[in-house]
Amino acid sequence: MSPVALHTAFEMLAYAVGFRTFLWTRKKIAPNAFTHDDHVAWVGVGAIVGAALGAKLAFWLDDPLAAFRDFPDLAHLLEGKSIIGALLGGVAGVELSKKIAGVRQSTGDAFVLPLTVGMCIGRIGCFMAGLSDHTYGNPTALPWAVDFGDGQPRHPTQLYEIVFLLSQYALIHFRRTALVEPGDRFRAFMIGYLSFRLLVEFIKPLPYAYLHALSGLQLLCLCGLLYYHRDIPRVLRALFARRRNTWEPR
């Protein structure tokens, strides 16, 4: 199977498993995220449209030289996408659709596990696709470095992301009772993932430098963290503050 076909297969699997996980999560883990079935449709449409547009815009920002090569030929413009753009675009699309439909409650908690599962499956496809996927890291001499086909051992950043996503979900699930405000589990997911990607991009090839140091994806991560800046202190306290011992000797 070609790298493109392999990546596409895992991407389709990620969508399918992620959707089934969402249906289960909605009933078992986040039953209060949606009060009406029509709200699911509104949020779903907003998420899909916003994610599709955001993913494409993020690619254009991250690698404009490749995206706009041979412009106005659309071939290169339609090639790439980014999960960071998809997440941020999905958030924007959901918020807009909720305003249109009059949905007031937070719906994000129902998406934490589906996103985690889907993204992990997708990153397996990225890892197996090798060099053609452009998600590998810089060359390194670390013992777990991977040769993706060019004879150069590199950081397997796809695997780093899988480990991070699973660890992050375990923490969010373990501390779920401390994340008391509706939507805080999703906010924790976004804050954690954007922070991770902001850092891990420093050990990946830089397709185009902004401010002489940052990639377009890192700029998007900073924008996302700025959007959540009021929530960051509360979420971090909920995730990492020690529980008080309420038992006192009499």
The alpha carbon dihedral of 10, 149, 135, 72 has a sign of negative
Percent above pLDDT 70 for the chain: 96
What is the per-residue pLDDT for 228? 96
SS3 30: coil
Can you tell me the distance from the alpha carbon of 80 to that of 58, in angstroms, rounded to the nearest whole number?
A: 9
Number of neighbours of residue 125 by Cβ within 10 angstroms: 21
Q: Where are the beta strands (DSSP E) in the chain?
A: 146-147, 153-154
Query: Rounded to two decimals, what is the model's pTM?
Result: 0.92
Q: How far is CA 144 from CA 139, 148, 153, in A?
A: 11, 12, 9
Place of tokens 């923490």: 171
Number of neighbours of residue 61 by Cβ within 10 angstroms: 19
Tokens of 132: 């053609």
How many alpha carbons lie under 13 Å from residue 9 in its C-beta half-sphere? 10
Q: CA 96: distance to chain centroid?
A: 19
Select from 86, 88, 98 the least CA-distant residue to 182.
98
Cβ neighbours for 189, distance < 8 A, ≥ 6 positions apart: 108, 112, 115, 116, 168, 169, 172
For the chain, how long is the longest CA-to-CA vector?
78
Q: Which residues of the chain have pLDDT under 50?
A: 245-250
Burial class (CB in 10 A: 0-12, 13-18, 19+), 189: buried
Burial class (CB in 10 A: 0-12, 13-18, 19+), 15: middle
What is the per-residue pLDDT for 246? 43
Beta carbons of 188 and 235 less than 8 angstroms apart = yes
SS3 153: strand
What is the per-residue pLDDT for 248? 43
Q: Where are the beta strands (DSSP E) in 82-152?
A: 146-147
Can you tell me the distance from the alpha carbon of 191 to that of 124, in angstroms, rounded to the nearest whole number?
A: 23
SS3 21: helix
Q: Per-residue pLDDT tens for 119-177?
A: 999 999 999 998 888 899 999 999 999 999 899 999 999 999 999 999 999 999 999 99
